[in-house]
Amino acid sequence: MMEKKLDFSIPERDDHPANLGMSWKGSNLAPEVGRVGMLKSEPGFYYDQQGNQVSEAVARLVGFDVEANARIRFLKERKAQFDRELEEELRRTTQREAVVVAERGGYAVVEIGAGYFNTVDLDGKPINARPVTHEAAMRLFGMLAPEENPDVSEDA
């Protein structure tokens, strides 16, 4: 009688579940269930070898700690929700409407608060390296977009 050899090597394909962080378990007591897997990045969701989602009862049967994985999934979802709320709050508090003091020729001077100003281009990107006083911002603005004086005659 010839013994069957099992190949435990991980295939080199990038789309193989072993390379995607999949954890597989099977049961010797219930071989009809087959193998059940869980993505490590998605704890609490279990799949059969065909990629169909299976119930927690089946996952428990093959040896997954369903309660612990459900708790991990719950905490990950709460953390993601908290991160979204924190990002929204940060975005709301840091983005306020800029007050445009002067605008000409595609450039503008905007007040950013606390007596400081930026000279910005068409895209709203600051031209000056750091916020400056009103006088310095207006001086830079005057160099970038000089005033056109229609009263000056060309015969001079």
Residue-wise pLDDT for 73-126, tens only, equals: 999 999 999 999 988 887 776 655 668 888 888 899 988 878 889 898 888 788
87 and 103 in a single domain? The answer is no
DSSP state of 118: E
Cβ-contact 106, 122 below 8 angstroms: yes
Are 85 and 21 found together in one domain? yes
Place of tokens 């093959």: 62
Are residues 59 and 107 located together in one domain of the fold? no
Query: Alpha carbon of 41 to those of 22, 73, 111: distances in Å?
Result: 8, 9, 45
Q: Are residues 58 and 77 in the same domain?
A: yes
The rounded distance, in Å, linking the Cα atoms of 133 and 145 is 18
State the pLDDT at residue 123: 80
pLDDT value at residue 113: 78
Q: Are residues 23 and 56 in the same domain?
A: yes
Residue 151 pLDDT > 50: yes
What gap in Å lies between CA 48 and CA 73, rounded to an integer? 19
**Over residues 52-71, mean pLDDT:** 92
Q: Is residue 154 part of a domain?
A: no
What integer pLDDT is reported at residue 57 of this predicted model?
92
Indicate whether 26 and 78 sit together in one domain: yes
Tally of domains within the chain: 2
The residue ranking higher by pLDDT, 85 or 17, is 85
In a domain, 77, yes or no: yes
- Is it the case that residue 2 has pLDDT exceeding 70? no
The one-character DSSP state at 124 is S
**DSSP character string of 66-83:** HHHHHHHHHHHHHHHHHH
Structural domain boundaries enclosing 107: 99-144
How far, in Å, CA of 39 to CA of 45, rounded? Answer: 7
* Residue 118 resides in a domain: yes
24 and 83 both lie in a single domain: yes
Are residues 76 and 23 part of one domain?
yes
**pLDDT in the model for residue 7:** 46
What does DSSP assign to residue 126? Answer: B
Mean pLDDT of the chain: 79
Place of tokens 């031209």: 127
CA dihedral 99→104→108→110, nearest 10 degrees, is -30
